[in-house]
Structure 1
Amino acid sequence: MTMPTRHIHLTDEQDAFVEEVVRAGRYENASEAMRDAVRGLQHRIQADELKLDLLRTQLQAGLDALENGRFTEVGDADLDATLDDLAPPTR
């Protein structure tokens, strides 16, 4: 199977890191290390998109609750205590 070729520019530090992981035997060569780096980027982008979708869902649920009157007003004097009650307990 033929793979496309890309020419990339790395900083000296990045290049040294790639060389180090190849020399340490973690990868057969620099191309394998770079493919793994791209896979990591793909996974991070997918995770970020899932988090953003969840945030949008939660935001919409909050907006819907406000629109339907399902909320509790909290005065300035009680705000800190209310926020403390929402926080998970510390161990």
Structure 2
Amino acid sequence: MATRNVVLSDHQYELVESLVASGRYQNASEVLREGLRLLERQEAQDAAKIAALRDASEKGWLDLAAGRFDEVADEGLDDFIGQLGAQAARAQRAG
């Protein structure tokens, strides 16, 4: 296993020490590995969200170019968004 020296702020040091003292982790290395696992998971989730947003954006631009859109007047925008929200909620409950 590779060894690496890291510099922690006083707050980070105290956090690591308190987690080890709590008995949840046996040593500082376990705490840091857990933190890296969480960071890795968060990075993967963020990448998946960005990919989904890119896909949705591309679909939206294609729909716009093909004329598949509804024009909504400013005064009807709140109602339109409310209807979209209700539709999304129903779809989520069904799915």
Corresponding residue to 1:57 among 55, 58, 71: 55
Q: What is the DSSP-based 3-state SS (H/G/I as helix, E as strand, rest coil) of the residue aligned with 2:5?
A: coil
Provide Cα deviations, 1:53-81, integer angstroms capped at 9, x if missing partner.
01111111111110111000011121121
TM-score normalised to structure 2 length: 0.85
Unaligned runs of 5+ in 2: 90-95
> SS of 1:64's equivalent?
helix
1:79 aligns to 2:71 (yes or no) = no
Q: Aligned residue for 2:12?
A: 14
Q: Partner of 1:25 in structure 2? A: 23
Q: Which moved more, 1:47-56 or 1:80-89?
A: 80-89
Q: Describe the SS at the equivalent of 1:87.
A: helix
Runs of 4+ in 1 over 6 A off after TM superposition: none
Residue identity matched to 2:56: Q
- Structure with the largest fraction of helix: 2
Query: What percent identity do the matched residue pairs reach?
Result: 39
Which residue number corresponds to residue 36 of structure 2? 38
CA distance in 2 between partners of 1:44 and 1:76 (Å)? 38
Q: How many residues of Structure 1 are paired with residues of Structure 2 in the alignment?
A: 87
